[in-house]
Amino acid sequence: MAYQSVDQLQKVLASKVFHYTQDSKKASGRALGTLVEIITFYLLKSWGFENSVAIERPLAEYGNPGITHNVEYSLRPVLNTIDLSLPDKLPITSARLLTAMSEGGFSLEGFDKQEILS
């Protein structure tokens, strides 16, 4: 099926698929948004940006860190990579991961461990 616009597709989804919901237009819009997010992720992955993608990160509005909204994807440069041996003991906790990072040569200098663990 071909549709003239995304809005037309959303209206068809609202009437034929999400008709049982309280707000069928909102439900169909969310479904289309999810589809776009999935396609976008796999496109970024195919371009080799998989390790640089951060999902659902808060972005400061107007340069004010007190006012944020989540963006679906942001691209971050990979500055350094390390190989870690994960702890054999379960459960794998944040504290055990931090210990493995420290033992693996990753510098935790400047990090507040209490903030990371909370």
Per-residue pLDDT reduced to its tens digit, 26-80: 999 999 988 888 898 899 899 998 888 887 777 788 878 888 877 777 788 888 7
What is residue 110's DSSP assignment?
T
- Euclidean distance between CA atoms 54 and 75, whole angstroms: 6
pTM of the model: 0.57
Answer yes or no: are the C-beta atoms of 41 and 30 closer than 8 Å.
Answer: no
Answer yes or no: are the C-beta atoms of 70 and 54 closer than 8 Å.
Answer: no
Domain ranges of the chain: 6-75, 80-118
Residue where the block lists tokens 């995304």: 6
What is residue 103's DSSP assignment?
H
Per-residue pLDDT reduced to its tens digit, 71-80: 777 788 888 7
